Amino acid sequence: MAKKKETTEVEETKIDARIPEGPLAEKWSNYKDHQKLVNPSNKRRLDIIVVGTGLAGASAAASMAEMGFNVLNFCIQDSPRRAHSIAAQGGINAAKNYPNDGDSVYRLFYDTIKGGDYRAREANVYRLAEVSNGIIDQCVAQGVPFAREYGGLLDNRSFGGAQVSRTFYAKGQTGQQLLLGAYSALSRQIGKGAVKLYSRYEMLDVVIIEGRARGIIARNLVTGKVERFFAHAVVVGSGGYGNTFFLSTNAMASNGSAAIQMYKKGAYFANPAYAQIHPTCIPVHGEFQSKLTLMSESLRNDGRIWVPKKKEDAEAIRAGKKKATDLSEDERDYYLERRYPAFGNLVPRDVASRAAKERCDAGFGVGNTGLAVYLDFSEAINRLGESVIRARYGNLFQMYEKIVDDNPYRTPMMIYPAIHYCMGGIWVDYELQTSVKGLFCIGEANFSDHGANRLGASALMQGLADGYFILPYTIQNYLADQIQVPRLSTDLPEFDEAEKAVNDKIKKLMSIQGKKSVDSIHRELGLIMWDFVGMGRNKAGLEHALEKIKEVRKEFWSNVYIPGKEVDLNNELEKALRLADFIEIGELMARDALMREESCGGHFREEYQTPEGEALRNDEDFSFASCWKFKGEGEEPELLKEALEYEFIHRQQRNYKS
């Protein structure tokens, strides 16, 4: 696919999301009623590769194996249970309306669209809201120990961007419990032999035969051997690319390489600029820092965010002359409550993050770097008692104390925004199929559902919706036509070619033998990304970033040093392969951000804001999903646009003030 140079005009390539006809609320049922299915005896003859074992990957692999498909499941960690979905803390949304506070499928749909700043596809989001209730039922049936009331029924808490309580949770470890639920379902299928698990394997390319995805090339991370795998369809649930920033709340091994491999084989990379900066992370504290730690958004239920009202106080605090507790109520500026009276501390993440940056940039930041704001629980502790707060957030407080060596029950926490989640990703149609036939993308790795900003507790919902309830249906519509295709040999020339390309790339990297470590170059990339493609972006900065990223690429491909052997366990080689792709992603992000001359959700262009400093959308010119098409190494990618038409919702400027 990548080899064919197309010279057609931008406007002419039509992107078709293949959304079913009919009223919004009936699209998904209509689709399911009319889609093609695969009969049980044929399912056994069809192989599906699933890359990734997070919420989306594990739930998809398990569900498809339960149906009778033959599944090959890959993960880079030693066990499927380590996938980074495990780190999600706060909760999962569903439109159950158990608390009787007026929630409904429509309202969850509406909040998600609005939270995403009207940059998501209506039909997808409605379907997500529709299946959300089934996820909770599924997880409870698996034995996920959600928090309960004394009456024995499920408890809910509220989350940013919503005026109802629709978030189900399991202490501060909801992601862990949901992932372990999916992992247990997956383990059951592995035990039965319906799923073959390949742990400590990393996908290095997707193999295309006659225009269809037919397998992958993967490296055994223990032996270093590059191996080939065939399947009738390939599903990628490899997570987000937040680690492009080097410092993020992602796990160390989280990467965007599978996305880049798909992109280079013809899948569009959509909305790369939409990255979410999470407002409540532990601030950066030193240059040795390897990652950032998130403090759950649920803390904003009871914590109040503030900075000093007077600059002198902020300066005194930074110099260590004053403490947070020295300031009286009058001397504190609860800026979220002040600016957004209706939602207060529970405004969406992008809004909260920008407000923190605005205060710190204006000189009111605290902590020794001045890049931190307070998250204060004293009022909640006085109101509810320390034991209630301990029961709600005990593990988070303990985590904070271990890292920062400060007791948040006594002194306010310090927090600052950090890169957390990528709304952008591989473009998929309504069936979660990429622009390459037979290649599917699920979970955070795809671009769907969250628009330009994701609401809290919606990532878990989307990952599991894709894996349990959407892909297992839609993939059959594709596979129904593949039942005649035999299991192909991995000796085919397409496999040879793909494996050779991978081996050549590895050899090239190993042969550079330069002076810089992989991490040191990654840090350089991360700084460029944070400074110019981070929370506040502008034309000059983005153009500068594109130049700087070019330099980083050159430095990497000429001066990186990878110790060890090629065909062996080699962590540095793994990291180098990932960094090579992060550089590509960084460039795509900057390019996309530069193209999008508006502010929306997680994408904030300083040139486009209201007088009050809120994001200013431009629906006239930018109501589309930007889809970047690979045109060859060293060539500029082509921009394709999927128009976002709002049939059912009337777009307006997001308002969290009243």
Partner 1 sequence: MEKNINVTLKIWRQVGPKEKGKFETYKLDNVSTDSSFLEMMDVLNERLISERKVPIAFDHDCREGICGMCSLYINGHPHGPDGEITTCQLHMRNFKDGQTIVIEPWRSAAFPIIRDLMVDRGAFDKIIQAGGYVSINTGGVPDANSIPISKVDADEAMDAASCIGCGACAAACKNSSAMLFVAAKVSQLALLPQGKVEAAHRAKAMVAKMDELGFGNCTNTGACEAECPKNVSISHIARLNREFLSAKFKD
Give the nearer residue to partner 1 in terms of CB position, either 178 or 305: 178
Helix (H) or strand (E) holding 139: helix 122-142
The binder of partner 1 chosen from 62, 203, 275, 498 (CB under 8 A): 62
CB of 576 to partner 1, least distance (A): 11
Rounded Cα distance between 529 and 575, Å, is 18
CB of 524 to partner 1, least distance (A): 14
Residue 462 tokens, joined: 């989307």
Give the nearer residue to partner 1 in terms of CB position, either 80 or 115: 80
| H-only helix segments in 432-568 | 459-464, 471-479, 493-512, 518-532, 539-559
Would the CA dihedral through 372, 378, 384, 389 be positive or negative?
Answer: positive
Told to check if 290 binds partner 1 by CB under 8 A, we report yes
Instruction: Provide the residue type at 485 as one letter.
Output: V
Rounded Cα distance between 89 and 68, Å, is 33
CB of 562 within 8 A of CB of 512?
Answer: yes
Can you count the helices (H) and strands (E) in the chain? 19, 19
Site for partner 1 in 448-467 (CB under 8 A): none
The binder of partner 1 chosen from 170, 347, 528, 573 (CB under 8 A): 170
Geometric angle at alpha carbon 352, from 350 and 356, rounded to 5°: 115
CB of 289 to partner 1, least distance (A): 7
Contact segment (CB under 8 A) with partner 1 among 145-153, 324-332, 482-490, 646-654 equals 145-153
- Per the listing, tokens 């599924």 go with 138
CB of 460 to partner 1, least distance (A): 14
Told to check if 317 binds partner 1 by CB under 8 A, we report no
Determine whether 349 is an active site residue: yes
The binder of partner 1 chosen from 337, 519, 566, 619 (CB under 8 A): 519
Rounded Cα distance between 421 and 424, Å, is 9
| H-only helix segments in 238-377 | 257-264, 311-318, 335-339, 349-361
Told to check if 571 binds partner 1 by CB under 8 A, we report yes
Pairing label, strands 70-75, 195-199: parallel
The binder of partner 1 chosen from 393, 468, 604, 656 (CB under 8 A): 468
The binder of partner 1 chosen from 71, 253, 347, 510 (CB under 8 A): 253
Applying CB under 8 A, the site for partner 1 has a residue count of 82
CB of 520 to partner 1, least distance (A): 7
How many other CB atoms sit within 10 Å of the CB of residue 115? 28
The binder of partner 1 chosen from 2, 15, 66, 503 (CB under 8 A): 66
The binder of partner 1 chosen from 42, 142, 482, 503 (CB under 8 A): 142
Told to check if 152 binds partner 1 by CB under 8 A, we report yes
Pairing label, strands 47-51, 233-236: parallel
Give the nearer residue to partner 1 in terms of CB position, either 141 or 319: 141
- Kindly list the strands in the beta sheet with 332-333, ordered across the sheet, starting from the edge strand earlier in the chain: 275-281, 413-422, 373-376, 304-308, 332-333
The binder of partner 1 chosen from 97, 156, 176, 474 (CB under 8 A): 176
Give the nearer residue to partner 1 in terms of CB position, either 156 or 490: 156
Give the nearer residue to partner 1 in terms of CB position, either 4 or 402: 402
CB of 316 to partner 1, least distance (A): 18
Told to check if 40 binds partner 1 by CB under 8 A, we report no
**From 300, 349, 591, 654, active-site residue:** 349
How many other CB atoms sit within 10 Å of the CB of residue 359? 21
The binder of partner 1 chosen from 2, 147, 488, 567 (CB under 8 A): 147
Give the nearer residue to partner 1 in terms of CB position, either 191 or 486: 191
Rounded Cα distance between 47 and 68, Å, is 10
Told to check if 96 binds partner 1 by CB under 8 A, we report yes
CB of 224 within 8 A of CB of 569?
Answer: yes
Told to check if 180 binds partner 1 by CB under 8 A, we report yes
Rounded Cα distance between 49 and 302, Å, is 43
CB of 351 within 8 A of CB of 303?
Answer: no
The binder of partner 1 chosen from 5, 40, 102, 191 (CB under 8 A): 191
Told to check if 173 binds partner 1 by CB under 8 A, we report yes
- Per the listing, tokens 């629906």 go with 619
Told to check if 251 binds partner 1 by CB under 8 A, we report yes
Contact segment (CB under 8 A) with partner 1 among 31-39, 62-70, 229-237, 416-424 equals 62-70
Told to check if 566 binds partner 1 by CB under 8 A, we report no
DSSP code for 466: I
Contact segment (CB under 8 A) with partner 1 among 57-65, 358-366, 474-482, 548-556 equals 57-65
CB of 77 to partner 1, least distance (A): 6
- Strand segments (E) across 103-194: 167-168
Give the nearer residue to partner 1 in terms of CB position, either 172 or 602: 172
The binder of partner 1 chosen from 29, 79, 652, 653 (CB under 8 A): 79
Most distant CA pair in the chain, distance = 76
Rounded Cα distance between 602 and 434, Å, is 24
Told to check if 29 binds partner 1 by CB under 8 A, we report no
Rounded Cα distance between 352 and 616, Å, is 16
CB of 368 to partner 1, least distance (A): 9
Told to check if 82 binds partner 1 by CB under 8 A, we report yes
Would the CA dihedral through 597, 598, 602, 605 be positive or negative?
Answer: positive
- Per the listing, tokens 């009337």 go with 650
Told to check if 634 binds partner 1 by CB under 8 A, we report no
Contact segment (CB under 8 A) with partner 1 among 8-16, 207-215, 284-292, 600-608 equals 284-292
CB of 594 within 8 A of CB of 539?
Answer: yes
Helix (H) or strand (E) holding 40: helix 40-43
Give the nearer residue to partner 1 in terms of CB position, either 241 or 532: 241
CB of 212 to partner 1, least distance (A): 26
Site for partner 1 in 220-249 (CB under 8 A): 222, 249
What does each C-alpha distance from 141 to 129, 136, 187, 460 come to in angstroms? 20, 9, 16, 17
The binder of partner 1 chosen from 151, 486, 493, 611 (CB under 8 A): 151
The binder of partner 1 chosen from 185, 277, 442, 549 (CB under 8 A): 185
CB of 465 to partner 1, least distance (A): 12
Rounded Cα distance between 544 and 612, Å, is 27
Told to check if 470 binds partner 1 by CB under 8 A, we report no
Residue 167 tokens, joined: 């978030």
CB of 279 within 8 A of CB of 602?
Answer: no
Site for partner 1 in 348-407 (CB under 8 A): 398-399, 402-403, 405
CB of 577 within 8 A of CB of 506?
Answer: yes
Told to check if 323 binds partner 1 by CB under 8 A, we report no
CB of 313 to partner 1, least distance (A): 22
Active site residue ranges: 349
